[in-house]
Amino acid sequence: MLGRLNHIAIAVPDLEAASNTYRSDLGADVSEPLPQPDHGVTVVFVTLPNTKIELITPLGDASPIRGFLDKNPSGGIHHMCYEVEDILAARDQLKARGLRVLGDGEPKIGAHGKPVLFLHPKDLFGTLVELEQA
């Protein structure tokens, strides 16, 4: 069911500083900030030869990652994103196996313009997992 690792998301308190670190200190290709109002975050993608790093910061006070940064003020790994061929089929298979899909269970359009879903971290060993339609 799982395809390739699409990205690892790192929540950061200062998106500009984190972007500069990856760009200047680590020599990475870093995108421009991309606000995602439907998800309550602003993202920057760091492109690597084999995957991406997604730097995320809250967009507004109601952001779902605000609580994460309150608990982890320096930031940290927030979630991992895997590609799936058919997001609805993957959702249905996982729900049938007892895994919980966050929200209303319907995919939303993510930062790559593709449907995404999130799976409950308590079902996956404390890791928030995002599934993205390949």
Catalytic residue numbers read: 130
- Length of the chain measured in residues: 134
Query: How many whole angstroms separate alpha carbon 63 and alpha carbon 84?
Result: 26
How far does the chain reach from its first CA to its final CA, in angstroms? 11
Query: How many whole angstroms separate alpha carbon 104 and alpha carbon 87?
Result: 14
Query: How many whole angstroms separate alpha carbon 62 and alpha carbon 54?
Result: 20
| Contact call for residues 33 and 58 (beta carbons, < 8 A) | no
Fill in the amino acid letter for 89: A
